[in-house]
Chains A and B, each alone.
Chain A
Amino acid sequence: MTNSEGQIAGLPAQSRTLHLSGRALGKSIFYLGGLIAAAAFALPFFWMVSTSLKSPPDVFISPPKWVPWPLQWQTYPEAWTFIPFFSYTINTLQIAIPSIIGVLFSCTLTAYGFARIRAWGRDVLFFICLSTMMIPWAVTMVPLFIIFKNLGWTGTYLPLIVPSFLGSAFYIFLLRQFFLTIPMELSDAARVDGCSELGIFSRIILPLSKPVLATVTLFEFNRVWSDYLAPLIFLTRQEHFTIALGLTYFLDRDRPLWNLAMAGNTMAIIPVIIVFVLAQRAFIEGITLTGIKG
């Protein structure tokens, strides 16, 4: 990048070259700006990992050791047992796996109805479905708690799982957009051959929709893994807690053990980062789709 700036300093007389190096200068400014912003965004993660590898006395010194040496890897097994990390992970998966099955079942069916069956009242219903995304969850959490309490479901995973089997506007929207891109002629041909709607859905549309089904799976996994408020309200016993809830136990003393807390944080973040890196495209397409057409 210094090259292009060097070129400017030696200003060639020709205007064409001048124009080009102006562009190069502009581009290097963008590059620099982007890198600085990215460094600022990555710094908290660096700080987290750096702290997680410090010995207890090294945590509380200023100026800090940016790269602690030797690296204290044993903080990770210590954090793993400081809170029951394994059981919290299992608990979270016990919610995540049924929830994923639930949204895959309910949202594909609903999206199929909205995308591929032309019927009276469909667009109004779809509009209502979309507008539920705007309703703050905080507005329904009190009555939902009362409802689930009366059903005897609080303190179990049911309040966190059952709603997944009854649709979720965001995924319905995502799936509908995808189903709309599949040519209608495929369905028409199958209908002529006497195939039922359920047959078209399961034998034609679903097999063609693997990418979007993967996107929904990943989003739902991430949602359950990260959810805080709903488990906080509906789970009453500590042995049922999810990872997102359990992490706060690292703070449960007058002077938190920040190296352990950061090791716990790192372990809780690793699965979502792996999922995200593996499926970056699916994630980004999901987000952008809502932005453009939403």
Chain B
Amino acid sequence: MAPGTKRFLTMLAFISPWIIGFLAFFVYPLLLSLYYSFTEYNLLQPSKWVGLQNYSNLTEDSHYLNAVGNTVYFVAFSVPLGVLTAFIIAFLLNQQLRLRVLLRMIFYIPIVVPISATAILWMWIFNSNWGLLNNLLALIGIQGPSWLGSPSWSKPSLIIMQLWLVGGSVLIFLAALQDVPRALYDAAMVDGANAIRRVWHVTIPMVTPAILFSLLTGMIAAFQTFANAWIMTDGGPIRSTEFYVLYLYDNGFRFFRMGYASAMAWILFGVVVVVTVILFRTSAGWVYYGGEG
């Protein structure tokens, strides 16, 4: 056997656990759900081919369109606000502060907490009569809204809670900020750039790879937002927090419309792929990869 062939087979043997997993848990389920998306299937009776029926029904399903709108709203606000918050916190922490390790930990701990615990905690924080938030607002003489109980405040509430979960991006920005060469700041100072111009012309361009990464992972996660709304509001009030995956879950596991849920899943998959490709395509124009890439 040629040494190249032998090496190839050895590599395949080593990576075989992943190959089997990839086929069993990605390729096969994706193809299966593509097939089911053209059928009517309730788990009890055999699936029945309906062609594009599920997809065309979706375009007329007002609950589906509502879920799409809610999700777009959530992604459009929570992701950019999250990236901005993470950048500002990382920027503050990047100084030679004595308590940096402790501070960094405080920002990171919320994301290692189980999401169900986070959701329960924030339900209590948002409680309109006795919650933390309205108690704090009362201190400055503001009567807070009923947050999760109000159709107009329910999505903003979940977005506020999401900002508490930016710790991962904070760490990524911190690492990026530490890689910005001191010499660049010194050169900018020699050229007479003030602090704001140094941030705008040195810091931000140097951390654009981290911005791209945070936007991308943040968007993929935000499109899938589920447990928070499921636990805190169950999609309400008046379907104002019924997000995409919530409605998908309902169709699959409450109404057992597996075909319909599969069509929803494939549309979500398509959207994630398209958004990822668009972000990468446009990133050439605004992401700056420094010396080390």
Binding site for B on A (CB under 8 A): 26-27, 30-31, 33-35, 37-38, 41-45, 47-48, 51, 59-64, 105-107, 109-110, 112-114, 117-122, 125, 128-129, 132, 134-147, 149, 163, 165-168, 172, 197, 201, 222, 225-226, 228-229, 233, 243-245, 247-248, 250-251, 258, 261-262, 265, 268-269, 272-273, 275-277, 280, 283-284, 287-288, 291-292, 294
Contacts and interface: CB of A to CB of B under 8 A. Distances in A.
A64 B135 contact: yes
A263 B95 CA distance: 36
Contacts, number: 271
B115 A117 contact: no
Given A30-B95, A143-B262, A146-B258, A247 B135 contact: no
B35 to A, nearest CB: 9
A258 B97 contact: no
A119 B220 contact: no
| Top 4 closest pairs, chain A to chain B, by CB | A166-B21, A113-B14, A291-B172, A167-B18
B121 interface: yes
A265 B121 contact: yes
Interface in B233-247: 244-245
A105 B175 CA distance: 30
Nearest to B94: A30
A147 B29 CA distance: 8
A147 B123 CA distance: 35
B123 A251 contact: yes
Contacts of B223: 136
A51 to B, nearest CB: 7
A129 B213 contact: no
Interface centre among A35, A47, A139, A168 (most CB of B within 10 A): A139
Nearest to B101: A280
B29 A261 contact: no
10 contacts: A26-B195, A34-B99, A47-B132, A64-B135, A110-B17, A113-B11, A129-B18, A135-B269, A166-B21, A261-B120
B114 A41 contact: no
A44 B121 contact: yes
Interface of B: 4, 7-8, 10-22, 24-26, 28-30, 32-33, 36, 43, 88-89, 92-93, 95, 97, 99, 101, 103-110, 112-117, 120-125, 127, 129-130, 132, 135, 138-139, 164, 168, 171-172, 174-176, 179, 195, 209-210, 213-214, 220, 223-224, 226-227, 231, 244-245, 248, 252-253, 258, 261-262, 265-266, 268-269, 272-273, 276
Nearest to A222: B112
Central interface residue in B92, B176, B266, by most chain A CB within 10 Å: B92
B135 A244 contact: no
Contact of A166 (B7, B17, B93, B209): B17
Contacts of A243: 114
B114 A244 contact: yes
Q: Which of B15, B26, B110, B261 has the most CB of A within 10 A?
A: B15
Nearest to A64: B135
